[in-house]
Amino acid sequence: MAKIQSPSGTRDMYPADLLKRRYIEKLWRDTSIRHGFEEIDGPTFETADLYAVKSGEGILSEVFQVYSGKDEAEVARIRGGANAPYALRPEFTPTLARMYAAKAGSLPKPTKWFWQQNCFRAEKQQRGRLREFGQWNCDILGGENDAESRARVDADVIACAIGAFVDAGLTATTLQVHVSDRSVVGEILRGIGVPDTRMGDAFSTLDRLPKLPPQAGEEACRAAGFDLQAFTAAAAFDGKAAMESASPLSMLRRDLASADLGGWVKIDLRIARGLAYYTGTVFEVLADGERAIAGGGRYDNLIELFGGPPTPAVGFGMGDVVLSLVLQDRGLLPEGDALMDALSRPSASYRPDVFVIPAGQSPEEQEAAAKAVRPLVAKLRRGVESEAYLSREGRKPWDADRYALASNGAPPLHARSSSKATKNIGKLLQDAAGQKAKLAVIVENADEVTIKDLRTNQQDATRTKIADLGRVVAERLGM
Amino acid sequence: MAKIQSPSGTRDMYPADLLKRRYIEKLWRDTSIRHGFEEIDGPTFETADLYAVKSGEGILSEVFQVYSGKDEAEVARIRGGANAPYALRPEFTPTLARMYAAKAGSLPKPTKWFWQQNCFRAEKQQRGRLREFGQWNCDILGGENDAESRARVDADVIACAIGAFVDAGLTATTLQVHVSDRSVVGEILRGIGVPDTRMGDAFSTLDRLPKLPPQAGEEACRAAGFDLQAFTAAAAFDGKAAMESASPLSMLRRDLASADLGGWVKIDLRIARGLAYYTGTVFEVLADGERAIAGGGRYDNLIELFGGPPTPAVGFGMGDVVLSLVLQDRGLLPEGDALMDALSRPSASYRPDVFVIPAGQSPEEQEAAAKAVRPLVAKLRRGVESEAYLSREGRKPWDADRYALASNGAPPLHARSSSKATKNIGKLLQDAAGQKAKLAVIVENADEVTIKDLRTNQQDATRTKIADLGRVVAERLGM
């Protein structure tokens, strides 16, 4: 008999292919856990309504529609011209919003969720795009909603995406996080004459620009009601202005710089993100010659749209197809022995390795300690690679000696800090114990910490230099 | 706005639920890897034809049908009365058969594959059955096809299923593997007057019997053309006869007993398995008051049906829903700290920990060594729990001291032996190195082995007792 083919745009994964996918998944899961995210999942297919709520009825012609072959009434309705009752998920965000809205009252504030499974889209296959593909999402929902808090949470989410790139061996010379703000872009478009009624059109035109040749791009902008050159000039001017003021973008850049991530980030107001639901910060991770590797942003109205309370929210998504191409092209996807060994490396600990708490004796020390917490957490999560390692030819992220070559080298850790407002050290230690942390790191001033082992309740008699902390913790935990 | 619900029979998994699913998945993956299986995956939806080839067109009214909302011609065909071109996979075996048939010539003999993802069925939700559920498959395809080899491979597959139960803390008092043989059952049915044309009907009636009240069962058998009492009497008689002769079932039971698994297995000719494609051994894992936890069998004609060469094949499937219920009911699903710690335990090594090779000086030693290989591999894969541990109240499989309480306790290992016919020790060591094994275990006689570290190429000067081997290997590998 004739051999039956797999559906076009889907993948048969034989053992060697599957190990590479597990490598990507391990990278994503370990990074998520170390950054304090908890994993969730939902159905592979949802009611078609769920997608229509977020994206309009038009979405149903972009997805795989699903119906039960057993339900005769359902089949009859479809033959009569109705859409199918279900759809294969084209993205996870509607499921996440539905799940958050259903339990908003009892969930932690903030809630940090990650997810990684397959998504589906009903389009033709092309480089970097399949009809079934793996996807990773990280989202932070709820909690404080002032501008400072939003910037901090935006920085947390972006730092997690960068954490995965660092752990995969990529650097800021290969790819950059282009950050924009939908409200700033909206102001610019309004300033050059785009009426509110055409704003959605203008955003999606900006989003398509990188895929168009220059002349076609200019024409598309004209058709959407604005002049591309005028936009570019205003974006450059406003981008500069936004950086000089106390704007959300400048706060975000400050927070990323304080976590040593400034080199990865580029303010770029040409980034618009096509999806209608973004409300503030938006970003895309770009590498030369490739589609966006990841993208995301703030969607502060979406949970309400799904019947939940008003909820600040920000997140990103990353696909396995483009990431695999980028890693493969740069020799960063291991094979054979190296791949098996990389997969056998210890996974991130579900329990926090460290929980960082601000302390300090004098008001000056207390202020310095409070300021040190978030950058320290971000650095511990990302790990510290030694200078000796970074300057070596042919280094690979799966080398066993990656963190062992210099005095301060350290593997990435699962690090957290409290989201509670209290400064009471006893209460913060309770929070650490409640979250099952192994070690509490009590920040004494800008340079020093005291370590308390929460498993034995023993506190060190001497302080540890912050610069050495990653290595000291890794040794103490036998990593 | 009104909250949108998830489709009935699907699951929203919040973090605590997801961790439990990861526990099951880790159990399945670690067990598979330790038993020498390699992971594969295929599309979530396949062409509807793929399922119709194996199960007939009737299957399409039992599955979720899928079509692209973007393809207008496709939509028009469906509205005109056609089935949708795709279906959500109700099981993985058709995909596996397609993938094996496509590359049969270049795959190892035998090929050992495992798979774990979700499947879908278009039926109403009930206890132990959802419309989307997790599934684990292990299959061995190709290789030798004599009766002795088939029995060995059947035993290998069944030992892997039992390995997962042991690692989950279940015992042979909780559940049993009921083993049957379709050809023996076919003979019995023929002997009590069922014609070949009604054989399929008779098998699926036997398969449904446990779900029917006694009287309804007797009526169903009459309707299928045979008398239940006559069948039961003949099955008891033939079962005994089969065990006394050199039948496939008696060889299989001998192989399982030699791996210390005899206590888990019960010959039970009432097991028929409904699916038409089974050709020989069939089995179901049953616990009191639950649906079958796992089931499988030999399907020697299926690969040909999918366009491949004649290929002996055997495998089993296990679902997450019933297994979770069984573990939960017996206090064997960890929660909280214990769950996080269980998930952070080291995963099975993708590289074989040990590769067992028969040697021996005298012909007697050589024969004893050759006989010792397979039972030893099976025991190393399953791990050795100490008597002290097994006799302790409230023991849990995630206890850290599970394998540490007695002189011969050992964690489960990734163990392999050669499928090559050669007795040349040099060639067998090459096979071990080619499969990236860490240690070669050279069996000298029925009681002793010599260990060679393939990473350093150092061979021990002294022998190790087989009874101590698991513990010695675990210490040497720092487990």
Query: Cα separations (Å) of B86 from A78, A123, B57?
Result: 15, 15, 13
| C-alpha distance from B235 to closest chain A C-alpha (Å) | 36
Task: Map chain A to HEC letters.
Answer: CCCCCCCCCCCCECHHHHHHHHHHHHHHHHHHHHCCCEECECCCEEEHHHHHHHHCHHHHHCCEEEEECCCHHHHHHHHCCCCCCEEECCCCHHHHHHHHHHHHHHCCCCEEEEEEEEEECCCCCECCECCEEEEEEEEEECCCCCHHHHHHHHHHHHHHHHHHHHHCCCCCCCEEEEEEEHHHHHHHHHHCCCCHHHHHHHHHHHHHHHHCCHHHHHHHHHHCCCCHHHHHHHHHHHHHHHHHCCCHHHHHHHHHHHCCCHHHEEECCCCCCCCCCCCCEEEEEEECCCCCCEEEEECCCHHHHCCCCCCCEEEEEEEHHHHHHHHHHCCCCCCHHHHHHHHHCCCCCCCCCEEEEECCCCHHHHHHHHHHHHHHHHHHHHCECCHHHHCCCCCCCCCCCCCCCCCCCECCCCEEECCCCCCCHHHHHHHHHHCCCCEEEEECCCCEEEEEECCCCEECCCCEEHHHHHHHHHHHCCC
Residues β-bridged to residue A283: A179, A296
Neighbours of B171 (CB within 10 A): 12
**Residue A415 exposed, middle or buried by CB count within 10 Å (0-12, 13-18, 19+):** buried
CB pair distance less than 8 Å for B340 and A346: no
Question: In terms of Cα–Cα distance, which of A120, A116, A122 is closest to A132?
Answer: A120
Quick check: A99 and B12 CB within 8 A?
yes
* In B224-319, alpha helices (H): 228-244, 248-258, 302-305
Give the number of other Cβ atoms within 10 Å of residue A399's Cβ.
18
User: Which pair of tokens denotes residue A419?
Assistant: 């989201």
3-state class of B437 per DSSP? coil
B82, closest residue in chain A (CA to CA): A79
Per-residue confidence (pLDDT) for residue A404, from 0 to 100: 67
Tell me which residues of chain B, numbers 424 to 463, contact chain A at a CB-CB cutoff of 8 Å.
Answer: 436
Cα(A400)–Cα(A470) distance, rounded to whole angstroms?
Answer: 17
Residue B210: predicted pLDDT: 82
Please give the angle made by the CA atoms of B447, B35 and B467, to the nearest 5 degrees. 20
Q: Is the CB of residue B211 less than 8 Å away from at least one CB of chain A?
A: no
Torsion-angle region of residue B2: left (phi > 0), alpha (psi -120 to 50) or beta? beta
Q: Identify the pLDDT of residue B207.
A: 86
Kindly calculate the radius of gyration of chain A based on its CA atoms and give it in whole angstroms.
24
Minimal CA separation from B123 to chain A, in Å: 7
Segment B414-467, tens digit of pLDDT: 999 999 889 999 999 999 999 999 999 999 999 999 999 999 999 999 999 999
Give the residue carrying structure tokens 């020697």.
B300
State the average pLDDT over residues B393-405: 73
Is B351's CB within 8 Å of A343's CB? Answer: no
Query: Which of chain B's residues have a Cβ under 8 Å away from the Cβ of A98?
Result: 3-4, 6, 12
In B155-291 the beta strands, taken as DSSP E runs, fall at 175-181, 265-267, 281-287
Q: How far is B107 from chain A (nearest CA, A)?
A: 10
Residue found under tokens 């190790």: B464
Q: Give, for B112, the enclosing helix (H) or strand (E).
A: strand B111-120
Yes or no, beta carbons of B21 and A5 under 8 Å apart: no
CB contact under 8 A, A78 and B78: yes
Interface with A, mutate which of B44, B78, B119 (most A CBs under 10 A): B44
Task: Give chain A positions within 8 Å (CB) of B39.
Answer: 15, 18-19, 22
Q: Is the pLDDT of residue B1 over 60?
A: no
Structure tokens at B12: 């929203």
DSSP B21-76: HHHHHHHHHHHHHHTT-EE-B--SEEEHHHHHHHH-GGGGGSSEEEEETT-HHHHH
For the stretch B43-99, pLDDT in tens is 999 999 999 887 777 788 889 999 999 999 999 999 999 999 999 999 999 999 999
pLDDT at residue number B54: 75
Strand partners, A294: A285, A318
The nearest CA of chain A is from the CA of B233 a distance in Å of 38
Dihedrals phi, psi of B351, to nearest 5 degrees: -75, 140
- pLDDT for position B346: 87
- Between strands B448-453 and B458-459, the pairing is antiparallel
Longest dimension (CA), chain A: 82
Grouping H, G, I as helix, E, B as strand and the rest as coil, residue B109 is coil
- Please state the length of chain B: 479
Chain B contact present for A347, CB below 8 A:
yes
Q: Can you tell me the distance from the alpha carbon of B288 to that of B295, in angstroms, rounded to the nearest whole number?
A: 15
Say yes or no to pLDDT of B163 above 60.
Answer: yes
Question: Which residue in chain A is spatially nearest to B122 when comparing CA positions?
Answer: A68
Residue A60: its chain B contacts at CB < 8 A?
Answer: 69
What are B150's two structure tokens? 């088939």
How far apart are alpha carbons B323 and B25 in whole angstroms? Answer: 11
At residue B210's C-alpha, the angle toward residues B205 and B211, to 5°, is: 90
Written as six digits, the tokens of A80 are 């009569």
Among A379-393, A406-420, B138-152, B172-186, the minimum mean pLDDT is found in A379-393
Please give the interface size between A and B, counted as residue pairs whose CB atoms are below 8 Å apart.
231
pLDDT of B219 strictly over 90: yes
Contact B389, B409 (CB under 8 A): yes
**Could you tell me the CA-to-CA distances from B124 to B121, B131, B134, B299 in Å, in that order?**
9, 7, 17, 29
Average pLDDT over residues B284-292: 84
- In order of A23, A129, A132, A137, B94, the CA distances from A9 in angstroms are 21, 8, 7, 22, 18
Contact A1, B307 (CB under 8 A): yes
Radius of gyration, CA atoms only, chain B: 24
Provide CB contacts within 8 A for B427, sequence distance 6+.
B420
B128 band by pLDDT with thresholds 50, 70 and 90: low
Inform me whether the pLDDT recorded for B390 exceeds 90: no
Instruction: Give the Å distances, CA to CA, from A387 to A395, A402, B451.
Output: 12, 10, 40
List the single residue in B with minimal CA-CA distance to A344. B349
Q: How far is CA B174 from CA B285, B302, B375, in A?
A: 10, 33, 23
pLDDT tens sequence across A65-82: 999 999 999 999 999 999
**Closest-CA distance of chain A to residue B172, Å:** 31
Distance CA(A298)–CA(A283), nearest Å, equals 9
Site from A20, A26, A66, A340 to mutate, B interface, most B CB atoms within 10 angstroms: A66
Q: What value does the mean pLDDT take over residues B30-45? A: 98
Q: Which of B375, B336, B346 is nearest to B358 (CA)?
A: B375
Q: Which of residues 109-128 of B touch A (CB under 8 A)?
A: 113, 118, 120, 122-123
Quickly state the pLDDT bin for B374 (edges 50, 70, 90).
Answer: very high
The rounded distance, in Å, linking the Cα atoms of B305 and B111 is 18
10-residue stretch averages of pLDDT, chain A, 479 residues long? 84 96 96 98 96 81 93 92 95 96 96 98 77 97 94 96 93 92 91 90 88 90 92 85 82 92 91 83 88 93 94 97 93 91 91 96 95 94 75 75 69 93 94 96 96 96 94 91
In B, residues 49-78, which contact A (CB 8 Å cutoff)?
49-50, 53, 60-71, 78
- Neighbour tally for A239: CB within 10 Å: 19
